[in-house]
Structure 1
Amino acid sequence: MSRLSRPPHCRTLGHRTDGGWSPPAWEQRFRAGEVEVPEWARDAPDRACVVATVDGRPQVHSWQASTSLLLPATDRPAGTTEATIDPPGDWLWWFDDTDGDEYGVWRRQRFGTPPGRATETPIPLPPAYGAGLHLARDGTGVVGRSDPDHGTTIHQIFLGPLAATSSPVLLYAGDGDAEASALSDDGNLLAVGHAEHGDARHPAVRVLAADTGARVADLTDGPGLGVWALAFAPVPGDTRLLVLHERTGVPRAAVWDVVGGAWRELALDVDGEVADAVWYPSGDAVLLAVDHHARTRLYRHDLRTGRSTVVGPTTGTVEEATARPDGEVWFSWSSAAQPPALRTTRSERPLIVPVGPRPRPSVEVRDVEVEGPGGTIHSLLRLPTGGQAPYPVVVDVHGGPADHRTDSFSPTLAAWVDQGFAVLSVNFRGSTGYGTRWRDGIEGQVGLVELADIAAVHDHLVAAGTLDPARSVLAGASWGGYLTLLGLGTQPERWSLGLADVPVADYVAAYEDETAQLQAFDRALFGGSPEEVPAAYAAASPITYVEDVRAPVLVLAGLNDPRCPLRQVERYVDALRRRGGTVELYQFAAGHGSQVDAERIRQLRLQLDFVRRHLG
């Protein structure tokens, strides 16, 4: 999401043998196939569920490791991204919503069957927002559902011989945010992540008996400290639960015996915070993903010796990973310069090669550290290979806010570099990867804190002669789109243009229309609802500052977006137009962003054209 320096006729074009012209490099990157790390079946590790691109859309596939046979199972027009496989490897499960609105039901079909063949809807419950699905080896499972009228419910479901004569059993019900986080290997214990204490940003964990819903144990670390349940040990009868906590101010992993009460820290003598963790199938080791300095690396922690060793690459970023029964690790890796590849620790060859051409590489990132109002701000800077400083710049604002930009491949950011732009990605306060104090530093001044950090880095690079202040574009999606609109109103002298994708634009109206989970998140972030703390929402809402916006702005909004709903975007656009502002609104038939390559390309073309017209 950014702007351009050279007109499109200056691009280097390749000639096709059919007499037409090949698309530019940036478009080829979007059209290149993608494949996620396979989720293999617990009792049939040769079988796996894979989400991979088919005709420019992500679809669910059956995949056999021994034969490398990849067979599409879905062909939904908007794509399918949420899927799993049952322990025996008999069924693929996938979530069926309407054009990306995230509201729907789970369906399943036999492993190895093509799209539309014998699809079943085995859970006799109404559509809802998903809140977790876990399948046990004995033919039972649990499903979490969130409904605007009934809060969050978690049911035990029966999928074997008892399915025809049994109804789902309610195990948990609550008005607040909750999810089914983990199910024990034998299906007897259920871990629920919840915010019954009123703080969805720092959840607690409750363990229930999966057949009766009786409480087994609770884990909470008190105000301002979250605990997340990840997975039970993959061993029958094992009551150890892998969790993330933040007791030391840096997220770390631990193993908690939910029945015996024993607690074991997974000591890690490296910098950074644990972002995720999975068990090795043997149950005697854990694979840890550690974020540090905008890179993610893997470590194998041996529970017998207490030692941790690096697994896989030590540069770039690992996006996903899974441990196999033989100790092999499958992982997806990329860097800012190198496109993603699905790799394995046993071989240099790709595990699965996506259909289509390999996307062209881009430029490496440079690390930038600037002292800001709240401490040292770490950022990533991409510079074009042509032109000279000061460069026009796209200031890329990440979503979340609990997220961060990494040294990883991005077709969008690479496209702006191709156009002669520098791209600056700031990991402002609110970002993960830099400790809980940094992540929670936005509480009390939501939006304004992040923008102060962005301004500090922007000022530093302008003063250094790297960036051109007269050609500075603010751009982002989701929370990044929100900060883009807020920045245009609160820092009007700084930005030449704005590109806001699926943003929060009117915070009060967004709260009224968004999902219950996001309402709980907002109450935790602001200290209450808009009715309880109206001044806090007004100070953080872009529509409050619409009279001060000077720069032209392009807004993109999904018609079915449940996270940043359309009505509040339209209210902002109407308000800006009434005061004579330059604003264009593009609406697309999807939810919180599109998964379809053609639509993503269309949106980037719109942004390129908008910048060309308004920046010259």
Structure 2
Amino acid sequence: MIDLRAREPDAVTAPFGSWTTPVTSEVVVGAAVRLGEVVVDGGDVVWAESRPSEGGRTQLVRRRPYGTTDELLPEGRNARTAVHEYGGAAWWVRDGVLWFTDWADQRLYHLEPEGTPEPLTPEPARPRGDRYADGELSADGTRIVCVRERHLGDRAIDVVNEVVVLDARVPGEPEVLVSGPDFVAAPRVSPDGTTLAWLQWNHPAMPWDAAELVVRDLASGEETVVAGGPVESVTEPRWRPDGSLWFLSDRTDWWNLYRWQFGHDIEAVVRTDADIGVPAWVFGTSRYAVLDDGRVVVARWRDGFDGLAVRGLDGILTDLDLPFTAVGSVVAAGPDAVVVVAGSPVAEPGVHRIDLSGAPPRVETLRAPRDLGLGTDQISVPEAVRFPSVDGAGESRTGRALFYPPVNPRFQGPEGERPPLLVVIHGGPTSKASPVLAVGVQYWTSRGFAVVDVDYGGSSGYGRPYRELLRGQWGVVDVADCLAAARALADRGRADPGRLCIRGGSAGGYTTLAALARADTPFAAGADHFGVADLEALARDTHKFESRYLDGLVGPYPEARDVYVERSPITHVERFTRPLIVLQGAEDAIVPPAQSEAIVGALRGTGVPVAYLLFEGEQHGFRRAENVRRALDAELSFYAQVLGFPLDEAITPVEVENL
């Protein structure tokens, strides 16, 4: 067991939670640039950066072979798409020419080197009504195929998703190629220009449930479903120069790599008991790269940690000895190299070039993580933990999580005292805990909190059967795992059983509320970030992409209305007895503010201590620096007040009503 007390002989004894630390909310925001997709364009590498200090806008950065960098978008431009509301793949580049969707109007723009952005798509009838994503240039560079999402009204049923084609340089109305499926993604034209491939799925399935891979002969119009269906999810299709089509499929319960060619059966390229693919919440994921000589580099999740492996020409898959434990993108970069967005438990994600021409592989950092000025003795490193839990039928099973002990070499807790615990619930709910340095986690551990990031049943990275533990059981299995993780860590002496807290955003906010709406809750307090309080309201009001998601998580609505009512935290306000802080974006289209305001209003009336902060200009997740800071500091102030530890920091206290 890791010693929870600091090792320095002159360490100051102070209550857990009150330790002073260099990891302030200002540091969290300064380090919070989010790296998105990366593209190799000749000898250049281009990547996306979401910057809280610039209002959360996404800038594109190009690195030249000789090491200089330049920013591609002029001031005020934001390469971000609202397709599916979560976006992704909002830009693409070739030979220095850039195409991107601008967040302000959602139109597609064309930008020549040293030029100014020019719109390619017409002004839609409704503001931001036509949205574009996931584009690709034809081999000759004259045409673009991409996804268009048309908002013809204010309801989910008024949204149409299509594959369209348009001229790459001349403005005009796009031509529709694929229409009819509820959703489409990843349109890709074969190198010879004769065949179109794309992904499609229909309500009530989500893409990780039943996405199909379809190909169409562009001359005859004949279509073939290559893979996918009711119990198979396909993602990341890509054509190869020889006319083969590569893709990831979970047909063996793990997202592994396959290839297909006309007239041939599907062939497994990489088969392993690990997930190469990830749930397609956003467009443009890239988890494998094929090198010129036929070797394949893949990222794969195994037992809670990510990593890179290479499949040699002999078909053997070998793990690469690299420090990375979370990989965002993998892109081929020449005959013997890949570029990745990746991080480790002691380094935030950066952009790195990995040379595989020798052994061991050589790593060149192209975009370094920020130097936080922290030594390794100041960073809490996660360890994978398992604990006993139950499934929806009450049968025993094993839960999984990443545990971060409190670490601050300048402090130690009082003799015999155990730290408060933050049980962190990821979003999705089909997402997962990420074992990469997150300054937002260190913000808590360096103050004396223990943190456990729970990969409850339904999380990805453990194969399809683990993901499907949540089918029909949202609000049951996730809650059971969170309670079990907290109790197990308290029983093992790693957390104070009287100061167990729970926090989560979006779907994690729902689990937080559901865990607090129990007479037997072990939690002393909770923090709900834009979470769901009323499942019925979510089923009626949310956007198209998730408008039928609850069919699989809860049951079809309204047929299963009784289940929706029973599992909605707003239905059980009388069970809430623990203090709660709620943080919400005013422009959230995924979980509207009405959800937060309903639970806050109800708790105010019952006398439960409650704090509420509404952030203007924020959508689903906070992107602006000042709001990220305020949300963190307010939550810290909240815990200090309700748990009763001193707080000697220059932050604005949050008002806790009914306290």
User: Which residue pairs with 2:606 in the alignment?
Assistant: 579
* Alpha-carbon offset, residue 326 of structure 1: 2.6
2:294 to 278, 284, 288: 284
User: Which residue pairs with 1:61 in the alignment?
Assistant: 60
User: Which residue pairs with 1:263 in the alignment?
Assistant: 266
Q: Deviations over 1:147-196 (max 9, x none)?
A: 34142122111224xx35x6321112236233245443455433332223
The 5 A counterparts of 1:520-559 are 520-529=548-557, 531-559=558-586
**Does residue 313 of structure 1 match 2:335?**
no
2-structure distance, mates of 1:606, 1:76: 31
1-structure distance, mates of 2:581, 2:540: 24
Cα 1:54–1:263 shift into 2, 3 Å: same
* Alpha-carbon offset, residue 58 of structure 1: 5.2
2:368 to 331, 340, 353: 353
Q: Secondary structure at the match of 1:194?
A: strand
Asked if 2 retains the 8 angstrom alpha-carbon contact of 1:39 and 1:48, the reply is yes
Q: Deviations over 1:368-392 (max 9, x none)?
A: 2112214221211111133265221
User: Which residue pairs with 2:110 in the alignment?
Assistant: 108
Q: Secondary structure at the match of 2:106?
A: strand
Q: Secondary structure at the match of 2:365?
A: coil
Cα 1:314–1:460 shift into 2, 3 Å: same
User: Which residue pairs with 1:233 in the alignment?
Assistant: 239
Counterpart residue identity of residue 282, structure 1? D
Asked if 2 retains the 8 angstrom alpha-carbon contact of 1:243 and 1:255, the reply is yes
Counterpart residue identity of residue 258, structure 2? A
Counterpart residue identity of residue 262, structure 1? D
Q: Secondary structure at the match of 1:557?
A: strand
User: Which residue pairs with 2:117 in the alignment?
Assistant: 119
User: Which residue pairs with 1:444 in the alignment?
Assistant: 472
User: Which residue pairs with 1:145 in the alignment?
Assistant: 148
* Alpha-carbon offset, residue 474 of structure 1: 0.5
Cα 1:197–1:421 shift into 2, 3 Å: closer
User: Which residue pairs with 1:600 in the alignment?
Assistant: 628
Q: Deviations over 1:55-89 (max 9, x none)?
A: 45553234133132222233677965555664532
Cα 1:206–1:315 shift into 2, 3 Å: closer
* Alpha-carbon offset, residue 449 of structure 1: 0.9
1-structure distance, mates of 2:518, 2:547: 25
User: Which residue pairs with 1:15 in the alignment?
Assistant: none
* Alpha-carbon offset, residue 429 of structure 1: 0.4
Asked if 2 retains the 8 angstrom alpha-carbon contact of 1:47 and 1:65, the reply is yes
Cα 1:603–1:61 shift into 2, 3 Å: same
Gaps of 5+ in 2: 1-13, 81-87, 279-286, 356-361, 392-396, 645-659
Counterpart residue identity of residue 265, structure 1? A
Counterpart residue identity of residue 400, structure 2? H
Asked if 2 retains the 8 angstrom alpha-carbon contact of 1:133 and 1:144, the reply is yes
Asked if 1 retains the 8 angstrom alpha-carbon contact of 2:236 and 2:248, the reply is yes
Deviates more, 1:453-462 or 1:317-326: 317-326
* Alpha-carbon offset, residue 297 of structure 1: 0.9
Cα 1:61–1:221 shift into 2, 3 Å: closer
Cα 1:206–1:233 shift into 2, 3 Å: closer
Cα 1:517–1:212 shift into 2, 3 Å: farther
Asked if 2 retains the 8 angstrom alpha-carbon contact of 1:191 and 1:205, the reply is no
Counterpart residue identity of residue 384, structure 1? P
Cα 1:278–1:490 shift into 2, 3 Å: same
Counterpart residue identity of residue 121, structure 2? I
Asked if 2 retains the 8 angstrom alpha-carbon contact of 1:195 and 1:203, the reply is yes
Cα 1:613–1:476 shift into 2, 3 Å: same
Cα 1:343–1:556 shift into 2, 3 Å: same
Cα 1:428–1:129 shift into 2, 3 Å: farther
Asked if 1 retains the 8 angstrom alpha-carbon contact of 2:405 and 2:450, the reply is yes
User: Which residue pairs with 2:304 in the alignment?
Assistant: 294
Deviates more, 1:475-484 or 1:368-377: 368-377
Q: Secondary structure at the match of 1:339?
A: strand
2-structure distance, mates of 1:544, 1:501: 19
Q: Deviations over 1:382-423 (max 9, x none)?
A: 111332652210001111111111321111111110110000
Asked if 1 retains the 8 angstrom alpha-carbon contact of 2:77 and 2:102, the reply is no
Cα 1:213–1:203 shift into 2, 3 Å: farther
**Does residue 390 of structure 1 match 2:418?**
yes
* Alpha-carbon offset, residue 220 of structure 1: 4.5
Asked if 1 retains the 8 angstrom alpha-carbon contact of 2:90 and 2:132, the reply is no
User: Which residue pairs with 1:245 in the alignment?
Assistant: 249
The 5 A counterparts of 1:18-29 are 24-25=23-24, 27-29=26-28
Q: Secondary structure at the match of 1:433?
A: coil
User: Which residue pairs with 2:282 in the alignment?
Assistant: none
Asked if 2 retains the 8 angstrom alpha-carbon contact of 1:171 and 1:212, the reply is no
Q: Deviations over 1:200-231 (max 9, x none)?
A: 241232424485793421145543x2222313
Asked if 2 retains the 8 angstrom alpha-carbon contact of 1:280 and 1:325, the reply is no
2-structure distance, mates of 1:364, 1:196: 41
User: Which residue pairs with 1:365 in the alignment?
Assistant: 382
* Alpha-carbon offset, residue 332 of structure 1: 2.9
* Alpha-carbon offset, residue 311 of structure 1: 3.3
User: Which residue pairs with 1:614 in the alignment?
Assistant: 642
1-structure distance, mates of 2:586, 2:75: 18
2-structure distance, mates of 1:478, 1:7: 25
Q: Deviations over 1:111-141 (max 9, x none)?
A: 4x4xxx6212212363345553222233212
Percent of aligned positions with the same letter in both sequences?
A: 23
2-structure distance, mates of 1:586, 1:370: 34
User: Which residue pairs with 2:7 in the alignment?
Assistant: none
Q: Secondary structure at the match of 1:466?
A: coil
Asked if 1 retains the 8 angstrom alpha-carbon contact of 2:429 and 2:459, the reply is yes
2-structure distance, mates of 1:490, 1:243: 44
2-structure distance, mates of 1:212, 1:572: 56
Q: Secondary structure at the match of 1:595?
A: coil
* Alpha-carbon offset, residue 578 of structure 1: 2.9
Asked if 2 retains the 8 angstrom alpha-carbon contact of 1:204 and 1:219, the reply is no
Cα 1:128–1:587 shift into 2, 3 Å: farther
Counterpart residue identity of residue 299, structure 1? A
User: Which residue pairs with 1:19 in the alignment?
Assistant: none
- How many aligned positions are there? 583
Counterpart residue identity of residue 436, structure 2? S
User: Which residue pairs with 1:562 in the alignment?
Assistant: 589
2-structure distance, mates of 1:521, 1:214: 32
Asked if 2 retains the 8 angstrom alpha-carbon contact of 1:280 and 1:324, the reply is no
Q: TM-score, normalised by structure 1?
A: 0.86
User: Which residue pairs with 1:74 in the alignment?
Assistant: 73
Asked if 2 retains the 8 angstrom alpha-carbon contact of 1:37 and 1:331, the reply is no
**Does residue 272 of structure 1 match 2:274?**
yes
Q: Secondary structure at the match of 2:118?
A: coil
1-structure distance, mates of 2:259, 2:424: 37
* Alpha-carbon offset, residue 445 of structure 1: 2.0
2-structure distance, mates of 1:305, 1:39: 29
User: Which residue pairs with 1:17 in the alignment?
Assistant: none
The 5 A counterparts of 1:91-102 are 91-98=97-104
* Alpha-carbon offset, residue 499 of structure 1: 0.6
The 5 A counterparts of 1:81-96 are 82=88, 86=92, 88-96=94-102
Asked if 1 retains the 8 angstrom alpha-carbon contact of 2:107 and 2:122, the reply is no
2:398 to 376, 387, 401: 376
* Alpha-carbon offset, residue 475 of structure 1: 0.3
* Alpha-carbon offset, residue 145 of structure 1: 2.6
